[in-house]
Amino acid sequence: MAIERTFSIIKPDAVKKNAIGGVTAKLEEGGLRVIASRMVRLTEAQAKAFYAVHKDRPFYGDLVKFMTEGPVVVQVLEGENAILKNREIMGATNPEKADAGTIRKLFGTNIERNAVHGSDAPETAAQEIAFFFSGADLAALAR
Ligand code: ADP
Ligand code: MG
């Protein structure tokens, strides 16, 4: 199994719930390491671009509004099989359907306000990391 990097966002609902530490602890307990982290307030243009893949979905407008309503924490996570592992630790998109002990079960509110984003494949992980972090940032932080 290869060491991978993936991209995570602690969404505005979880930041508002004072759960940055709680979410990060679940990631760390699951074997992932935070190698870059920054708190940002997304602009409408950034949220629209980040979620452009969903632009034709009925929830797109509300999603952009939600993601810009308050600060988020953008993170790069590293570990064995990190992309899939992060998705497991996150749980299902709908917190009601997420397994017990997952981040979305613990900290999510509903299918929209579901506490975290996580990349779903190597290509999207690379794109999403590059959206928020420069190669220079990551090189400076490498162990
Ligand atoms: P995931 O975040 O699990 O990869 P998607 O990529 O399908 O899920 O959707 C992106 C985000 O859009 C979700 O995390 C959630 O915030 C929101 N979303 C997805 N489906 C819905 C829906 N049916 N109604 C409202 N918001 C949704
Ligand atoms: Mg997705």
| pLDDT tens profile 113-124 | 999 999 999 999
Between CA 68 and CA 39 the distance in angstroms is 13
If one compares 114 and 140, the residue with the highest pLDDT of the two is 114
b (16+ CB within 10 A) / e for 74-99 = bbbbbbeebbebbbebbbbeebeebe
Neighbours of 65 (CB within 10 A): 12
Is it the case that residue 143 has pLDDT exceeding 70? no
Between CA 22 and CA 29 the distance in angstroms is 11
pLDDT digits over 71-97, tens only? 999 999 999 999 999 999 999 999 999
Is 35 close to ligand 1, i.e. is its CB under 6 Å away?
Answer: no
Between CA 67 and CA 65 the distance in angstroms is 6
Is it the case that residue 20 has pLDDT exceeding 80? yes
Spatial contact of 34 and 24, defined as CB atoms under 8 Å apart: yes
Neighbours of 40 (CB within 10 A): 12
Spatial contact of 5 and 142, defined as CB atoms under 8 Å apart: no
Q: Report how far ligand 2's centroid is from the alpha carbon of 122 (Å).
A: 13
- Half-sphere exposure (Cβ direction) of 25: Cα atoms closer than 13 Å: 8
**For tokens 């991978």, what's the residue?**
4
pLDDT digits over 98-112, tens only? 999 999 999 999 999
Mutate to test the pocket of ligand 1, among 64, 69, 87, 112 (most ligand atoms within 8 A of CB): 112
Is it the case that residue 132 has pLDDT exceeding 90? yes
- Could you tell me which residues come within 8 angstroms of residue 15 by beta carbon, excluding any fewer than 6 positions away? 39, 70, 71, 72, 73
Between CA 61 and CA 64 the distance in angstroms is 5
If one compares 140 and 44, the residue with the highest pLDDT of the two is 44
Per the confidence metrics, is the pTM higher than 0.95? yes
